[in-house]
A = this chain, B = another copy of it.
Amino acid sequence: MISFMNDYSEGAHPRVMELLLKANLEQNSGYGEDVHSNLAKDYIKRELQREDVDIHFIPGGTQTNLLVISSFLRPYQCVIAADTGHVNVHETGAIEATGHKVLTVPHQEGKLTPDGIQKVLDNHSGEHMVQPKMVYISDTTELGTVYTKTELKAISELCRQMGLLLFLDGARLGSALTCRGNDLTLKDIAELVDVFYIGGTKNGALLGEALVICKQELKEDFRYMIKQRGAMMAKGFVVGMQFEALFENGLYYELGAHANRMAEIMAQAFVQKGYSFYVPVYSNQLFPILSTEVMQELEKEFGFQLQEKIDQKHSAVRFVTSWATTKENIDKFTDFLTNL
C-alpha cells in the first residue's frame, strides 16, 4: 500500500535528521533560547529581507492558530475565516475553547475575498454581536489553491483600512511558494500580513512551525502566551535545528517544489484519463472526481481520502504528495491508473 493520504506520513528529510544527529549531544539552552534557534531565525529573516520581526518556533499548527488568535484578540473579538478554513472545521473547536468565535464566509475555491470579508463587517455593529477583528487565511488553502499577489494585496488593504489583523496560516507554505500560479515571496507575505507561519511539519521537519510576527504592537510578551498554552518546548532547539537545516541553503523551497512536481505528474495522468477536478490543481493536493468503481480499484493499492460525494456514482477524493513522495511511487500510480 502506497499512501497519498497526507503530507505527514514520513519522518524528516535526511538533511534535517543529519543535523539533529550531529548536534544531538551538544548542551543547548532550553526553551528555544539556543544558538540553533537563533541561527534558524537569522536564516528566515534573510528570506524576509528584514530584521524587525519576531520569530517563535511552535510544535504544531493547531497550537499556532490558537496561540495567535487568543493572544491578539480581546475576549469579545472574533476572527473571520472561509467556511473551509482549518480553524473552523478541523481543530475540534480549539479557537472557541480560547473564547473566540469564528465567523465564516462561503469560500471561493478555498479562498476568502475582500467582498466576503466586507459582508461580515456590514452585518456586525454594536455590542450585541461579536466584533470582527482578525482575518484568517491559509496558503495553500485547505483545497490546495493559492493566493496571488494581487489577491493578497486586496485583502491586506481592506484589513488595514478597517483595522483588522491579517493572519496567514502557512502549514503548507512550502508548497504554496513554489507552485504553479504563485507570485508571492516570503518577503511579500511579511509585508502584507500582520502575522503568519511557515509550516515545517508538512514540509520536511519532524514537527514545528515558524511563527513570524510582523506587526510591532503584537510582539510584546508573546513568550508568556506560548508557555501558558503548553507550547513552549523544553528542548526548543529540536525545532530550531530543523528550521536551521530547512533554511540554511534553500532546502525548504526544494522540498515544496518536489511535492508540487509529483502532484503535477499525477494530475496529468488523471487528465489524460479524462477525469475532472473538484478545484483546479495548483500545489501538492489534488481533488479528482472519480467513479465509485475507479475508487475501489485504486484503494487496493493506494491510500487517499474521500473529500465529498458528488452524486450517487461519483466522489471527489483527495491525493496528497510531499517532499517524501518518490518518483518511483508516482510512476506506479500513473501506470496503475493508465491501465484501469
Contact = CB atoms under 8 A, between A and B. Distances in A.
Interface in A280-305: none
Interface stretch (A23-31, A177-185, A255-263, A270-278): A23-31
A334 interface: no
Per DSSP, chain A at the interface is loop
A231 interface: yes
A201 interface: yes
Contact of A74 (B24, B76, B221): B221
A111 interface: no
A319 to B, nearest CB: 14
Contacts of A89: 129
Interface in A80-122: 89-94, 96-102
A307 interface: no
B76 A324 contact: no
The residue in A6, A10, A27, A225 that gathers the most chain B C-beta atoms within 10 A of its C-beta is A27
Contacts of A12: 24
Interface string A302-330: 00000000000000000000001000000
A98 to B, nearest CB: 8
Interface string A52-68: 00000001111111110
A209 B214 CA distance: 33
A9 interface: yes
A24 B30 contact: no
Contact of A8 (B23, B71, B229, B234): B234
A156 interface: no
Contacts of A23: 11
A62 B233 CA distance: 9
9 contacts: A8-B235, A11-B23, A12-B24, A59-B59, A59-B233, A63-B231, A78-B96, A89-B129, A96-B101
